[in-house]
Amino acid sequence: MNLDLSFKLNFTMSLAKEAGEILMYHYGNLKNIRQKSRVDLVSEADLASEKLIVEKIQSQFPTHDIMTEEQDFKSKGSDWTWVIDPLDGTTNYVHSLPIFAVSIGLKYKSETVIGVVYNPAVDAMYHAVIDKGAFRNGDEIHVSKTKKLGDSFLVTGFAYDHNDEWELSFDLFRDIYRKSQGIRRLGAAALDLCFVAQGRFDGFFEINLFPWDITAGDLILREAGGFTSGWKGENLPASGKKVLATNGIIQDEILDIFQNEKYTLFTNY
């Protein structure tokens, strides 16, 4: 595929940086926090970051489609789609925990071609272009070489919707915890994927995410040599409904756990 992505990559990284500045401007100083549900929050920072990103994309690429967390856009039928989480990790952000990010992915047809995840609190910029590797602040990154689940350090998350799957995910958490070296819950899925990409963790799993949580991070992780899939081992669902992302080596060991009869609720889809 020859799509001349360098201009688009520079544009995306500057945009993530500018959106990050907006987030840092409001950080620790929020005046307006709305509860989409008791646990699902949105602040003026999410909205201001999204407004900036959307306006700049619309002015630079007026024919492109846009998918964001906080607004619905009508499809223009473009081959290009921007998939945006203007603030991933809102709950952390609201509580002044510096684990949050701006996540921007660009798809050409169904393929993600650019992924940018930026955490302004520690000035960490992750980026990837299809077939060109993955980077953190310009340095190439790679997944870990950990060979077995028993030696693995993992990260996960829990969705806002406290449904039956949510209940069961705590059983799964215990099962996998027991078989690994430990699991963390950091609260920003886009960063979780980047941390697997750079080898801090060996794997990440979560259910009921959304496209904006995973589009950019999925490309960054795969370009760093990792592997992503659904929970039956199929191609990663673009919806984010089921996400397993690892260094590739421990993927099958975790998939085997999901196949256990007591977890059919997770694999009946």
Q: Contact residues for ligand IPD (CB under 6 A)?
A: 85, 88-91, 157-160, 187-189, 206, 209, 213
Q: How far is the CB of 63 from ligand IPD (least distance, A)?
A: 27
Q: How far apart are CA 145 and CA 131, in angstroms?
A: 20
- Shorter beta-carbon distance to ligand IPD: residue 49 or 251: 49
Find the binder of Ca ion among 50, 69, 223, 253 (CB under 5 A). 69
Q: What angle do CA 130, 66, 99 make, to 5 degrees?
A: 70
Q: How far is the CB of 15 from ligand IPD (least distance, A)?
A: 17
228 binds, among ligand IPD, Ca ion, none (CB under 5 to 8 A by kind): none
Q: How far is the CB of 90 from Ca ion (least distance, A)?
A: 5
Give the residue nearest to ligand IPD (CB): 157
Find the binder of Ca ion among 213, 218, 223, 253 (CB under 5 A). 213
Q: How far is the CB of 42 from Ca ion (least distance, A)?
A: 8
Alpha-carbon separation of residue 188 from 83, 91, 105, 179 (angstroms) = 16, 9, 16, 24
Residue 129 C-alpha from the chain's centroid: 16
223 binds, among ligand IPD, Ca ion, none (CB under 5 to 8 A by kind): none
Site stretch for Ca ion (CB under 5 A), options 115-123, 139-147, 193-201, 209-217: 209-217
Site for Ca ion in 75-94 (CB under 5 A): 85, 87-88
- Shorter beta-carbon distance to ligand IPD: residue 202 or 206: 206
Q: How far apart are CA 46 and CA 26, in angstroms?
A: 10
- Regarding 253 and contact with Ca ion (CB under 5 A), the answer is no
Could you tell me the strand order of the sheet in which 111-119 lies? 65-68, 80-88, 101-108, 111-119, 124-129, 134-136, 139-140
Q: Which two tokens stand for residue 45?
A: 């920072």
Q: How far is the CB of 187 from ligand IPD (least distance, A)?
A: 4
Q: How far apart are CA 209 and CA 205, in angstroms?
A: 10
- Shorter beta-carbon distance to ligand IPD: residue 195 or 249: 195
Total of residues contacting Ca ion (CB under 5 A): 5
Q: How far apart are CA 78 and CA 58, in angstroms?
A: 13
Q: How far apart are CA 122 and CA 118, in angstroms?
A: 9
246 DSSP assignment = E
For CA atoms 227, 232, 236, 242, give the dihedral sign: negative
Q: How far is the CB of 267 from Ca ion (least distance, A)?
A: 24
Contacts of 4 (CB under 8 A, 6+ apart): none
